Every structure is written in C-alpha cells, then in structure tokens.
Structure 1
C-alpha cells in the first residue's frame, strides 16, 4: 500500500528514522516527511531528479509550524513541485556562498592541485571564516603577511624533521593567484583606494618569476643516468626523454600507456586537465618494459619497496648521482624538464606544440626559458662556426 502523507494520522504513526518517508508526486518529483525524534513537528523535504547531473537534488522545506496540521501537506507539496520545476528546467540555484572558505571550496572543484593549496594556506587560516559580505582589504593584507612569513617546505629528513626555506615571491604569487581567482568568481571588485577594494591587497608581486638558467645538455644527462642507481634509473630516464613534471610521471598508471599506438595519457598534472601525447620510440620501449605483467591500476613507475615515487624519494638519488657526475650545483628533477623543453624549442618545434606537450603556455616558455634558449642556441652556432 502506497504512503499517503496528506493524512495527519498516517504521518503521526510513522516511525522516526534518518531517511525520510517518501511519497511520489510525479515522475522525478517526491515529497518526504521525517518525524521528529523528540516531541515536536516533523520536517518536510523535496526531492527532484536532474537530467543534467544524472542525480537527485534535495531541498529542506521546514516544518510549516504556522499552518494547521491538515494543510501542511498541501503547502509542502506546492513547494516541492516548484522546486522540481526549477531542477527540471536546469535553473536550480546553488547553495549560497557566505565565507571565504566556501568560495574556495566551490572553486577548488575545478582542480585537485588548487584544493591542496587552499588546504595549506586558507582553510586553517583565520581568513577562512571571514564572511564575504564583510571582507575588507585589511583581512587580505594580514593573510598575505602570514603567507609571506610561512616557510616553504622542501623535503623531510630521515629523522622526521622538515627542511624549509624562505617563501619566494614567485611562490607567494602562485598561492595568491588561486585565492584571487576564487574570490573573483563570487565577489565584485570594491571601490579603488577604499577598504572595500579587497582586490588591491592581493595583486601579483612584480618581477617575481625567475628565468630558468640551469641547463643540462645531452652529455650531462647521460652522465647523470650512468651514475643513478638501478631503482631510480627508469623514472629519471623518463624525465630525460619527455618534458613532463616529475609529479605527473609519478602519477602515471600502467593503463595510461597504450602499447599499440605509443600514446601516453597524462591525467594528473598542474592544470588538472588530462592530455594525450605520442611518445618517441625509446620512451615507448621503456614504458612497455615497465608495464609488462602489471595490473592496469598499478603505478607505471614503482620504487623497490613497491610504492610510487614522491618528491621526497626522487630528490635524494638525483642529487647524489648529480654530485658523482659532476653536474652543476642545483640540478634537480625539474632541471631535466627545463632542459628537455629547451631542446625541443631549439630543435625547431613550435612554442605552441611544446606548450601543449608539457602542459604550460607559449607565454610561460618565452618568459621562463627565453634567455636560456637564446644562450643554448648561441653555443650551438658557435660550434658550427669552428
């Protein structure tokens, strides 16, 4: 027998439970009633199916305490049907954003790396609880001072202590940009030169980005690979062959490499947008060997203990091999990426193509690598003239 919530006696006889008692009003539209766990009025809930999102949307309707018991069903039914009409039309309003933390949480759904930055620098900070309607320039100035004073973590030592360094202006700019983007989505800019001008407190620091000046030529990279330990060699060799971030390589699974087409899907990277590239034959051979007799969901590159690579695990072996190979001080895993990008541009590949492969922009390549590319090109021309 179907439930009839319009009857007061039938509603009053319903047992208390977490899941509401539902009555179907029409396809995709339901009204629910949850009896009070204590003495008091129960609450009404609307449920409507969204074709766009392929799931049900819920809305709490309240207890309608100002209406007589016999009329509460009719009032709740009317609101539930209005809610369903909005959902079916695709016009349901999102939950209102009230605080800085809520603005960041909504924006963070666009990318996982963004969410990690908010976790480190916003959610645990006093600014997280500030209501957007009361956000002023001094709130953001104070947050920026705290951010600039916070040391940047480099690596963790064997004894558990974290190695840090002063936060660079470039790092501050990257963290500021995320918060500024989140607030721009929900807040209009305030009147300039007033406390309401929140946007003026988090403008980028000028000339903060440093150009990439360290380049390892092919001979130096071969020397590095000759000194690297056998456990790290496949991972580091991949960094020498492809212009990828170390973290993106570490996040690759066996299923991301297609042996038939030599295509590699990079799913987790800085932009958060998956991309697919064709890898050269030597890299394809390396990845085929790494994926042999392995499950699709396993990491493509594993350490000797069966765990994926992390920043803390690849930094030491590369630094040790770099010292043995006599490489310049400061050579890191990222130096391999910078060197490969430089080689591709010097080799004649267009900036746009290099940008797409390496998950950056042509503007960033010109800004960060312009001087380095010119220097390497000048050395190549000098050798040709001998």
Structure 2
C-alpha cells in the first residue's frame, strides 16, 4: 500500500482516479486522490457499514493548510466522520443552509405557513446571506462558529420602521432570541433526522437571553379602547374595533376573508395563525353582526377588514394609522396593535374569569405561555374560591 502520510510520498504518487488508501483503524481508511501531477489532491474517507457495503465520504482538498499538515487534518476529519456514523448518523451530508431549507419545507408540510414565512425572512437575512455559514457542512459546525454568528447578530443595528431613517439602535434581545430559535429549530430537525448526532455546538451558544421580552404590551381598558376607536380614521377604526373584540394576532385577523365567516353558525375560521392549525372561533351575536356588516356586498376572497383603498391590512400599513389614533386619543405612546391582543386576553382572564386553557386556544398560543404571562391574573379568582370554602 502506497504511503500518503508525508508530502514527499504524495508527490511521488502516480496520478490516477482510484484513491490511495491509508488504514486508520479496523475497517476505516483515509484516501488520497491525485488526478494530475500539478493538483493538490483531494481526501476522502471509507468504511464498511452495517450492511457490509463500503461507504465513502469526500473530505475536501485542505489546500488552505500547509502541505505538511494536510494528512493530520484529513485524518482527524475522517475519524470524526467514522464517529458520526458510529453514533447512528446519516451517510448523507447537508449544509447549514440545506438544514434551514428542510426546516422551512417541514413547516409548510405541517400547514404552518405563517411561521414558515417568518422563518424564511430571518434565514434570508442571517443565514443565507452569510455564505460561509450557509455552505458549512453540519458535521463541521462548532460552538466557535455559532458563537461568532451570535455575536455578529447581537451587534447588528435594528432596522427602523421608517426605512428612510438611518439605523442607530441595536436589535433587542427578544429579536435576537427569535432569530436564534429559528436556526436552533432547523438544527434540531437535522439532529432528529440523523444528519448530525450531537447538539453540543448549539446547546449553549444558541441559548436564549433570559427575560428578553421585558414588560408586556401596554394594557388598554375597555373605555380606552372605545376612545381609540372614536379618534381613529374610519378604516383603521373598524380594524381596531375587531381587535378589541377578539384575542387574535393582528396579522391573523387582517388575513381573514369573507369566506372565513359563517353567518348562520356565527363562526369565524382562523386558518393561518402562528401555529398554522386551523380553528374556528364562536362569536357572540354582537360581534357576529358587526363582522356580517363588514362582509356585506363583498366577494368571498375579499378581506373582511380592508383599508380605504380596499387592500388588506398588514403590519406595515397599520402602524402609522394606529400611532395617529393613539396620539389623537391621548393614550400611552407605547400602545400598538399588539396591545389590543394583550388587553383582550387580560380582560378574558381577569374580568370575565375564563379558564387559561380556553384562553390559550382562542389566542392560538400554548397554555404554558398563557400561564407564564397571565397566570397571576387568576390569583384573585383563586382567593375568592378559597374564601367560599370557609366554614
């Protein structure tokens, strides 16, 4: 067997397509292929699988390393691949970018189109634009790589709502958490599918910043919400009224079309909220009559709540009118469209005593999340219930 462990030995090898093999351990070999006398040559690994078939893995040229170091570096890479297979890893190798695309595909297959759209935007900005990370094989991902990526992400300035203005503020910890959680979810899916056999690289480096969400949205009571509607332009005022009546995310409500409303049963179908699972909300008569009025003389595909020009609302179009209404009504400046969702959830629990599980289902969020942020509102109800037990 020809030697490949020194520069001189490799230089004396006759160019050929069949690799020259060096035994690293029982059944495991490091190969070196040299197609021309001028080429640096490429390295690959070979081992026998459980089915007794030979398995091959291209390692690369390592031409960024000094020639004298390439054998040792290639040997290390080959052993890492053998260990990966030994832990049940797949023989197929994918990159970080491919892992992210597989995650997007999985979200869409699960019907989570809204989540997929959000994740796509984050991957476009923070993974696909970073070609070094996007093209990095999963088996080569290390804590250092992810630590560098996280540091770069944390130091990026936040894009202002007004795109004409210059970015001056660093992105919030909550935004950082959302970006990291998407990459972590993609890597965890690849782990579950055997493309990588350890989560060590991201268990600590992609750990979320604690208490990043800070204070919850501004709470607006019933009277303040009524005042907001009165001081708003008619189109956004109608949308605000709807947001004040249902604990939905603004985007989910804005996406509702006439076809989603069933006037006979007084139901509103929600099909593309954050988790993507369709659900139907029963409406009280007053809310159903209000929505029926918005649907009148509209085609099934038309948005129930439309802007003055007939287009559906979105997060970019409702921000300005909402801000103007808040200012005109002299309400807290931090109030946003999401404040209305927070306010309706708060009232359902504290004022109307609705159980947390039902609220979680109506709001399309998890019970642990409702318990975390709104569980304290049940304390008064618990105290009253305990008082009723007294003899």
Q: TM-score range, shorter-chain basis?
A: 0.5 to 0.7
Shift of 1:163: 6.5
Query: Aligned residue for 2:231?
Result: 227
Instruction: Show the 5 A alignment for 1:159-238.
Output: 160-161=164-165, 165-187=169-191, 188=196, 190=198, 197-212=201-216, 214-238=218-242
Residue 339 of structure 1 is matched in structure 2 by: 343
Specify whether residues 366 and 174 from structure 1 end up closer, same or farther in structure 2 by C-alpha distance, changes over 3 A only: same
Q: Which runs of 5+ in 1 are unaligned?
A: 1-93, 378-386
Equivalents in 2 of 1:164, 1:248: separation in Å?
31
Preserved contact between residue 351 and residue 362 of structure 1 (Cα < 8 Å): yes
Secondary structure of residue in 1 paired with 2:274: coil
Deviations along 1:73-127, one digit per CA (max 9) or x if unpaired, are xxxxxxxxxxxxxxxxxxxxx9955111111111112132333332232222231
Matched, 1:128 2:134: yes
- TM-score normalized by the length of structure 1: 0.66
Determine if the alignment matches structure 1 residue 367 to structure 2 residue 372.
yes
Q: 1:119 aligns with which of 111, 115, 124?
A: 124
CA distance in 2, matches of 1:133, 1:167: 30
Contact 1:151 1:167 in 2 (8 A): yes
1:284 aligned to which of 279, 283, 288? 288
Backbone CA RMSD of aligned residues: 2.7
User: Cα gap change, 1:165/1:106 in structure 2, threshold over 3 Å: closer, same or farther?
Assistant: same
What is the TM-score of this pair, normalised by structure 2? 0.66
1:287 Cα shift? 1.4
Asked whether the equivalents of residues 229 and 317 of structure 1 are also in contact (C-alpha less than 8 Å), the reply is yes
Distance 1:162 1:366, change over 3 A: farther
Residue 142 of structure 1: aligned partner: 148
Contact kept in structure 2, 1:342 and 1:369, CA below 8 Å: yes
What residue ranges of structure 2 are gaps of 5+ in the alignment? 1-89, 382-391
Q: Does 1:294 align with 2:298?
A: yes
- Describe how 1:210-359 pairs up with structure 2 within 5 A: 210-212=214-216, 214-346=218-350, 347-359=352-364
Q: 1:278-304: per-residue Cα shift (whole Å, max 9, x none)?
A: 122222112111111211112221111
Q: CA deviation at 1:335?
A: 0.5
